[in-house]
Structure 1
Amino acid sequence: MSRRTARAHAVVTGAGSGIGRAFALELAKRGGQVVCADLDETTAKETVLLVEQAGGDAIAVACDVAVEDDVRRLSVTAGSWLGRVDLVVNNAGIGAGGLPVGEAPLGDWQRALGVNLWGVIHGCHVFVPLLREQGRGGIINVASAAGFTAAPRMAAYNVSKAGVVSLSETLAAELAGTGVAVTVLCPTFVRTNIFGGELIDPAAAQVARRIARVTGFSPERVARTTLDAHDRGRLYVLPQLDAKALWRLKRLAPAPYARMAGLMGHFAPDPEPHEEHR
């Protein structure tokens, strides 16, 4: 097993909280140096303080991953501070859900795709050529089981995460034999603050929080599992049993799975109307 995550010179987006913060702390425990990027520089600095308290080395960078120029500036800053970049964790993301297609505002679609999909596209577009030129390193893209479960009333989120899975699979094919490894993380429920996102209907968020409290993994466990899998050269990481079961069921019986997902959607709470539809 390669130990490419040991002493890595890493960039983590969305590092101000949740899974991103957990990645930063776990990489620091492995002796790495971490550039902690986040839209909110204050929370990124809080992560840096936690890394330093744990004996690691990190800096904070304000970055909106939906903006290409921001990601290019992040690359320049990371290259200058780290000397080289070994690992990029494209983690930044937002939640979206609660309304069916046709009722969910197009603005929600644009924001979800801008952060969740275009943010990862920008990260890969900017950093992959550098890694390929080095002939070493890794990319970890954070998707979701939503990328293949296609749960009702979550279309924008589902589509954004499905795009991340497809992008990661394509990258793995393109980078085969180059020394650059690709991993895509597809968890189900993780105990983070994503359920409080501005694009999630409050009723749906309340249900998701309850499920996460009971069945969700901690972000620290997810980050540790993913980095270990990346060291083993695994493309897909489905850390929870429910993610693995849904993955297999959909591939073995896609039509029955779609009917099952539709039936489950009927049990979802009826959300309050979105502001644009009041």
Structure 2
Amino acid sequence: MFGIDTVLSLLRTDRRTANAKAVVTGAGSGIGRSFALELARRGGDVVCADINAERAAETVALIEQLRIGSAHAVQCDVSDRGEIEALATRAQEIFGGPPTLVINNAGVGIGGKPVGDIGFEDWDWALGINLWGVVYGCEVFTPLLREAGRGGIINVASAAGFAAAPAMAAYNVSKAGVLSLSETLAAELDGTGIAVTVLCPTFVKTNVFTDGRITPASMNLTQQLARWTGLSADNVAVRTLDAHDSGRLYVVPQLDATLIWHLKRHFPEIYVRGTGLLARLLPQG
């Protein structure tokens, strides 16, 4: 038997995210998996892309258990442009045409070192996945959506993209780029029938902390903050998809992120001095 939430979701077929032909990157875990599952609950056909083929297959198995919608696992390294192009080709083969929704979600966590100590290898790794992965996704899939004359793009950024917290430069820069790209794309696609939404959460309870390159002291701090203030990935996915249905560009799902957003814009110098003090108080190593 279906639950009342599932039934109501299926009845709301006028929504952009209902019955979507969706591509989700990083769908093997965390927010990406929650996006895929929720889209399936809304009757969607979901391509679950992930660098880890086993995790992608696990998400597909979970969707098949729902007996609503359908799903397909595709291995994809988003930092490789050729693999994103291959993903687009495979998605069109599966759907029999272009997707109606693309969620550029794949990302990694990195932090704990100040600029000058990060090292170029970590810069390349973080920007390759978090920023270039989204750039490739938008550059490859946007023409397909334009040709179809409909659809949507959801890019997963972070409150880090505007908060600019210390000891997180590589992550901050990557997410700021995603935010700016999304704003630009939204302006370019205005009036085309293609919606753009960018998600900017603070802490979400996912494996991004343990799978990334975060120093032990920073890892301990972020995990504590996530326990105190973090939302579940399922909660974030539902809020974001609902916001996309409403045509909203920004999704800032937590109070702390909203406060940071307004504080930095209205009192930028005070904000920077405050983060400077925070940098001196942060644990090292």
TM-score, normalising length: structure 2: 0.94
What SS does the corresponding residue of 2:114 show, helix, strand or coil? coil
1:263 aligns with 2:277: yes
1:60 alignment partner AA: A
After the TM superposition, list the runs of 4 or more consecutive aligned residues in structure 1 that deviate by more than 6 angstroms. none
Q: Distance in 2 between matches of 1:192 and 1:103?
A: 26
SS at match of 2:231: coil
Cα distance in 2 for partners of 1:261, 1:226 equals 28
**3-state SS of the aligned residue for 1:212?**
helix
25, 35, 41: which is aligned to 1:23? 35
Q: How many residues align?
A: 271
One of 194, 197, 206 as aligned partner of 1:192: 206
Instruction: Look up the match of 1:87.
Output: 101
Deviates more, 1:99-108 or 1:257-266: 257-266
Name the aligned partner's letter for residue 23 of structure 1: F
Q: Which amino acid aligns with 2:44?
A: G
Q: Is the 8 A contact 1:92 1:115 kept in 2?
A: yes
In the TM superposition, what are the counterparts of 1:41-120 in structure 2 within 5 Å?
41-55=53-67, 56-83=69-96, 84-120=98-134
Q: CA RMSD in A?
A: 1.0
| Alignment map for 1:234-245 (pairs within 5 Å) | 234-245=248-259
Q: Helix, strand or coil: the match of 2:153? A: strand
TM superposition shift of 1:197:
2.8
Name the CA distance, whole Å, in 2 between partners of 1:266 and 1:32. 48
Q: Alpha-carbon deviation of 1:213?
A: 1.0
**Would you say the 8 A contact 1:185–1:238 is kept in 2?**
yes
Measure, in 1, the Cα distance between the counterparts of 2:262 and 2:280: 23
Asked whether the equivalents of residues 96 and 197 of structure 1 are also in contact (C-alpha less than 8 Å), the reply is no
DSSP-derived class of the 2:167 partner = coil
Counterpart of 1:132 (choices 131, 138, 146) is 146
Q: Deviations over 1:232-269 (max 9, x none)?
A: 00000000011111001100011100111111122211
Partner of 1:251: 265
1:276 corresponds to = none
Q: Is the 8 A contact 1:34 1:57 kept in 2?
A: yes
Residue 218 of structure 1: which of 232, 244, 263 is its match?
A: 232
Find the aligned partners of 1:190 and 1:234 in 2 and give their Cα distance. Answer: 20
Residue aligning to 2:23: 11
Deviation larger for 176-185 or 198-207: 198-207
Determine the C-alpha separation between the residues in 1 that align with 2:183 and 2:210.
30
Partner residue, 2:7? none
Corresponding position of 1:178: 192
Q: How far apart, in 2, do the equivalents of 1:240 and 1:116 lie?
A: 21
Counterpart secondary structure, 2:177? helix
Partner SS state of residue 5, structure 1? coil
**How many angstroms apart in 1 are the aligned matches of 2:57 and 2:276?**
43
> Sequence identity of aligned pairs in percent?
62
Mapped partners of 1:80, 1:72: distance in 2: 13
TM-superposed deviation, 1:214:
1.4
TM superposition score normalised by structure 1: 0.96
- Mind listing any 5+ residue stretches in structure 1 that lack a counterpart? 272-278
In the alignment, does 2:172 pair up with 1:158? Answer: yes
Structure 2 runs not aligned, ≥5 long: 1-11
Instruction: Give the superposition deviation at 1:132.
Output: 0.8
Distance 2:90 2:100 in 1: 14
Shift of 1:131: 0.3
Deviations 1:58-106 (A, max 9, x none): 0100000000000010001111101230000000000010000001111
Question: C-alpha offsets along residues 194-213 of structure 1, whole Å, 9 cap, x if unaligned?
Answer: 00134211211111011101
